[in-house]
């Protein structure tokens, strides 16, 4: 029987699963408070997120946990103040270890390529140079593909693929003001490096 805990650890390499509810609530609370950002936000941003996942050698013969993922695209602000965009996601996910009640170890490689829908809500952030940040979440769009190979069981490989193609992820990051230089940082509390520039 597949361990759900193992699956969550496997696909949660430094990401945080988010739903729209808290982001919407915080965005509305920010609006109701009547506290505008200290600087003007750009109407669009180009964003590149690259994973900073731990890379762990799990045994001999090059078997390891880790991989790399890049999510990149443009966010455009709508009339409701919410930023939206379709982003390209490219993923190499490596797994090596036990995943079932039997405790038997196996190796798995997932390669993914496709688009995700991203949304960003402006939230107050006193640690940001402009007094606000974007709370982002993204989810795979229909047509996003993935291939899984390795010595793990067929059920486990299918479970990993289905989770990869359905789970929402998110981060929160500071963005530059309109006209400011590109910003690059290793995100605190998230295993991602972000590059963002106003357009």
Least confident of 29-43, 45-59, 147-161: 29-43
| Structural contact between residues 37 and 132, judged by C-beta atoms closer than 8 angstroms | yes
Residue from 59, 19, 3, 184 nearest 192 by CA: 184
- Do 42 and 178 meet the contact criterion of CB atoms below 8 Å apart? yes
On whether the CB atoms of residues 151 and 102 are closer than 8 A, the answer is no
**Judging by beta carbons within 10 Å of its beta carbon (0-12, 13-18, 19+), is residue 188 exposed, middle or buried?**
exposed
Task: Check residue 129 and give its pLDDT.
Answer: 77
- pLDDT of amino acid 57: 74
State the pLDDT at residue 102.
64
Please check the confidence at residue 192 and state whether its pLDDT lies above 80. yes
Hey, which bits of 11-144 come out as E strands?
A: 44-51, 56-57, 64-77, 83-98, 105-124, 132-140
| Percent of the chain with pLDDT strictly greater than 70 | 76
Q: Answer yes or no: are the C-beta atoms of 64 and 58 closer than 8 Å.
A: yes
Domains of the chain, by residue range, sit at 4-198
Residue 72 has pLDDT above 90, yes or no: yes
Q: Mean pLDDT, the chain, as a whole number?
A: 83
Residue pLDDT, tens place only, 120-162: 999 998 888 788 899 999 999 999 999 999 989 899 999 999 9
53-70 pLDDT, tens digit each: 988 876 666 678 899 999
pLDDT greater at residue 189 or residue 27: 189
- Give the global pTM: 0.79
- 194 — alpha (psi -120 to 50), left (phi > 0) or beta? beta
Which one-letter DSSP state was computed for residue 88? Answer: E
What's the pLDDT tens digit per position in 11-24?
555 444 444 444 44
| Per-residue confidence (pLDDT) for residue 75, from 0 to 100 | 98
- Model confidence band, residue 101 (pLDDT cutoffs 50, 70, 90): low
The answer, yes or no, to whether residue 5 has pLDDT greater than 80, is no
**171 forms bridges with which residues in the sheet?**
136
For residue 61, the model assigns a pLDDT of: 64
């Amino acid at each position: 029987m597949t361990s759900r805990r193992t699956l969550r650890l496997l696909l949660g390499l430094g990401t945080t699963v988010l739903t729209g509810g808290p982001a919407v609530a915080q965005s509305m609370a920010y609006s109701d408070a009547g506290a505008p950002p200290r600087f003007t936000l750009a109407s669009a941003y180009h964003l590149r997120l690259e994973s900073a996942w731990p890379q762990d050698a799990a045994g001999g013969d090059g078997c390891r946990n880790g991989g790399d993922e890049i999510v990149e695209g443009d966010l455009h602000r709508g009339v409701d103040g919410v930023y939206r965009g379709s982003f390209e996601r490219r993923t190499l996910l490596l797994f090596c270890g036990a995943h079932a009640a039997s405790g038997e170890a196996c190796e798995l490689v997932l390669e993914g390529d496709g688009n995700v829908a991203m949304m960003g809500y402006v939230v107050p952030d006193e640690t940001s140079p402009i007094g606000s940040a974007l709370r982002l979440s993204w989810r795979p769009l229909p047509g996003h593909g993935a291939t899984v190979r390795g010595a793990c069981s067929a059920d486990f490989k299918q479970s990993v693929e289905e989770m990869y193609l359905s789970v929402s992820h998110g981060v929160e990051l500071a963005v530059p003001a309109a006209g400011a230089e590109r910003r690059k940082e290793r995100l605190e509390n998230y295993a991602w490096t972000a590059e963002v520039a106003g357009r």
